[in-house]
Amino acid sequence: MEQLLEYFGVITGFLYLLLEIRQHKAMWIVGFMTSLVYVFVFFFSKIYADMGLNIYYVAISIYGFRKWTCAEKNISEEKVPDDTIFYRHITWSLFAGIASAILAIYALLYYILHNFTDSPIPMGDAFTTSVGIVATWMLARRIIEHWIFWVIVNFVSVYLYYLRGLYPTMFLYICYGILAIVGYYTWKKKGINTKQR
């Protein structure tokens, strides 16, 4: 059963990322399903922070869907092609806030995982989870640099999932890392920086 859930999560995970690259709001619905499945996959694998991260993803999928739906109403009034991707850049002050948030979340998660769970990888689990929380929030706000955060998270995750024997998920995250690079360049090439308009 656990392996079936993992394979289902891998398939929907690929679909989610392809929709994210195209900036299609259905990605939030697919992401909701993928995250819900991975709550159980990571629970059974004792990767507790990633399990918690996926609970967060379930909630932020609802937030992201609502945020993008409202933004589309505003965008639809303008004369732009349907496949246009809208994004904005991170500012230095926002980056400082994001870095502080990652450090605070990391410290809290590491403390909890190290002292109160049987997690075999508390440092890596806390790192990927803290960066993932912030990167998903950045995606909901259409900040293009979220792709860079995902490249880092995905390749660190590959190693963690290798250690836990989650080979299909490891393969998924190798693809996630590569597609995150593609996503960044796709948004940059086809997108419009909303701050320059």
pLDDT digits (tens, 9 = 90+) for 126-162: 999 999 999 999 988 999 999 999 999 999 999 999 9
Residue 46: left if φ>0, alpha if ψ -120 to 50, beta else—which one? Answer: left
pLDDT digits (tens, 9 = 90+) for 3-54: 898 899 889 988 998 898 888 889 999 999 999 999 999 898 888 888 888 9
pLDDT higher than threshold 90 for residue 86: no
What average pLDDT does range 107-132 have in this prediction? 92
d(C-alpha 174, C-alpha 151), whole Å: 9
In the chain, % of residues over pLDDT 90: 48
Beta-bridge mates of residue 85? 191
CB 102 within 8 A of CB 152: no
